Amino acid sequence: MKLDDRIIAQHNQQSAEIHTSKFEFLKTQIIDSESIISKLIDFQIAIPSWALGNGGTRFGRFAGGGEPRNLEEKIEDVGLMHKLNRSGNAISLHIPWDIPKDYQAIRDLAKEHELRFDAMNSNTFQDQKGQDKSYKYGSLQHVDPAVRKQAIDHNIEVIKHGIELGSKSLTVWLADGSCFPGQLNFRTAFQNTLESLKEIYAALPSDWKMFVEYKAYEPNFYSTTVGDWGQSLLYASKLGPKAYTLVDLGHHLPNANIEQIVSLLLMEGKLGGFHFNDSKYGDDDLTAGSIKPYQLFLIFNELIEGMDDRKMNHATDLGWMIDASHNVKDPLEDLLQSVEAIMIAYTQALLVDSTALKEAQLKNDVARAQEILQDSFRTDVRPLVAEARLRSGGALNPIGLFRQLNVRAELIRERGLETAATGL
Ligand SMILES: [Mn+2]
């Protein structure tokens, strides 16, 4: 389904007056709104192909209806979202769920939707039909070298697909670990994993990055072989300059101080990218900003402070991606909400008076420091985010327009009710 620019313009006309008055009022409170708007226009978040349908849980899956049935339809869905909010110009693919049959056709389709290919994701957390060796007891850590080789070869194949599509990074998330004490020798598991990662790293083109994603637990419940940021940083440091740590907001033990982790990884030049989502208890994969918006803001505050300190480009020097999986919302509405929440947190963090905050820190003025952060967090920046969207051709109210046009009903008519976007 493709959206015409005229439809978006008509929609924007309906709420232009209200928007302008809100935006003009906000402008009087902000020092450099134009520079913030240009940063917002540049800032883009990649959409994972597996978030376009209902992910389900280990108890089952409720089909959402009209989910994309193939890679082409996934690109069309991300293209539609990008048309609405102009903030998601990339799709992140998962192999083997998204193996292209015709690279040129896929590249052309992505171009038509003004999309590029973000990080490629490998999969050694499940066995595929006809697969020779099983990953039941791990992949890159496995005690059997033949299983490790199969997993290494798979990752190298993922890189090859990515090269054809113009991607520049590989994300490795491993389910490897153990469920019971005594099951694994921790050091051997680490060393096997490191040796395997080294072989994959050797296959990376010179301008590629490798993201090593960590996760505290699940599907293994006693140990995880890339279990936290320290272990990921160890791998990334031993691998070399193209390897980085990837932070998924849901992959920590409860109450972890993620903003502090982000700050130190940035300081070491080893933060590679982000998987945004939100959670109440564990790896809940809920809509970004839906549970802990203040945490999201604090993370962005550290990101901006750390990136500015290293003279990094906010839009391009880290990989920004959503990694969510939802069961009760329309996946496209949910993703539009996630992108909006990320843009809001980014904008609020851009408002922080960093000079005043430094002064307060040097004077140990704790109350003032809190005031500075919360002043920014409590500013309603939505008109600024909407203005950036408007100037880049998007809709003032993306979800409003999505509903007004009955997009989901149209997708169900095209694709049917019983479709699935993932290979789970
Ligand atoms: Mn993730």
Cα(275) to centroid of ligand 1, in Å? Answer: 5
Q: Are the C-beta atoms of 22 and 384 separated by less than 8 Å?
A: no
Question: Residue 312's CB: how many other CB atoms inside 10 A?
Answer: 17
The angle, 0 to 180 degrees and rounded to 10, between the axes of the packed helices 354-362 and 366-377 is 160
Q: Give the C-alpha separation, 19 to 97, whole Å.
A: 41
Cα(380) to centroid of ligand 1, in Å? Answer: 29
Cα(412) to centroid of ligand 1, in Å? Answer: 28
Cα(90) to centroid of ligand 1, in Å? Answer: 16
3 state DSSP class of 68 = coil
Cα(363) to centroid of ligand 1, in Å? Answer: 39
Q: Are the C-beta atoms of 66 and 407 separated by less than 8 Å?
A: no
Cα(215) to centroid of ligand 1, in Å? Answer: 8
Q: Give the C-alpha separation, 389 to 244, whole Å.
A: 31
Q: Which of 203, 270, 194 is nearest to 239 (CA)?
A: 194
Cα(285) to centroid of ligand 1, in Å? Answer: 9
Cα(129) to centroid of ligand 1, in Å? Answer: 24
Cα(200) to centroid of ligand 1, in Å? Answer: 19
Cα(10) to centroid of ligand 1, in Å? Answer: 37
Cα(151) to centroid of ligand 1, in Å? Answer: 19
Bridge-based pairing state of the strands 243-248 and 271-276: parallel
Look-up of token digits 């990074």 = 169
* Sheet strands (E) in 114-166: 116-117, 120-121
Q: Which of 17, 23, 2 is nearest to 72 (CA)?
A: 2
Structure tokens at 400: 């409003």
The angle, 0 to 180 degrees and rounded to 10, between the axes of the packed helices 293-309 and 258-267 is 10
Question: Residue 353's CB: how many other CB atoms inside 10 A?
Answer: 14
* Residue 149 confidence (pLDDT): 98
Structure tokens at 194: 């490191």
* Residue 55 confidence (pLDDT): 74
Cα(213) to centroid of ligand 1, in Å? Answer: 7
Cα(395) to centroid of ligand 1, in Å? Answer: 29
Q: Which of 187, 262, 195, 185 is nearest to 229 (CA)?
A: 262
pTM: 0.97
Q: Are the C-beta atoms of 326 and 334 separated by less than 8 Å?
A: yes
* Residue 238 confidence (pLDDT): 98
Cα(277) to centroid of ligand 1, in Å? Answer: 9
3 state DSSP class of 273 = strand
- Taking every pair of C-alpha atoms in the chain, what is the biggest distance, in angstroms? 66
Alpha carbons within 13 angstroms on the beta-carbon side of residue 69 total 10
Cα(248) to centroid of ligand 1, in Å? Answer: 5
Cα(250) to centroid of ligand 1, in Å? Answer: 8
Cβ-count burial 184-217 (b if 16+ within 10 Å, e if not): beeeebbebbbebbebbbebbeeebbbbbbbbbb
Question: In the 8-state DSSP scheme, what is residue 418?
Answer: S
Q: Are the C-beta atoms of 376 and 349 separated by less than 8 Å?
A: yes
Cα(281) to centroid of ligand 1, in Å? Answer: 16
Cα(45) to centroid of ligand 1, in Å? Answer: 14
* Residue 171 confidence (pLDDT): 98
Render 211-245 in DSSP notation, one character per residue.
EEE--SSSS-SSEETT-SHHHHHHHHHHH-TTEEE
Cα(413) to centroid of ligand 1, in Å? Answer: 32
Cα(52) to centroid of ligand 1, in Å? Answer: 15
Cα(131) to centroid of ligand 1, in Å? Answer: 24
Cα(390) to centroid of ligand 1, in Å? Answer: 30
Cα(393) to centroid of ligand 1, in Å? Answer: 30
Cα(24) to centroid of ligand 1, in Å? Answer: 38
| CB-count burial class (<10 Å; 0-12, 13-18, 19+) for 247 | buried
Tens place of pLDDT per residue across the chain (424 aa): 789 999 999 999 999 999 999 999 999 999 899 999 999 999 999 999 999 988 777 777 787 899 999 999 999 999 999 999 999 999 999 999 999 999 999 999 999 999 999 999 999 999 999 999 999 999 999 999 999 999 999 999 999 999 999 999 999 999 999 999 999 999 999 999 999 999 999 999 999 999 999 999 999 999 999 999 999 999 999 999 999 999 999 999 999 999 999 999 999 999 999 999 999 999 999 999 999 999 999 999 999 999 999 999 999 999 999 999 878 999 999 999 999 999 999 999 999 999 999 999 999 999 999 999 999 999 999 999 999 999 999 999 999 999 999 999 999 999 998 877 666 6
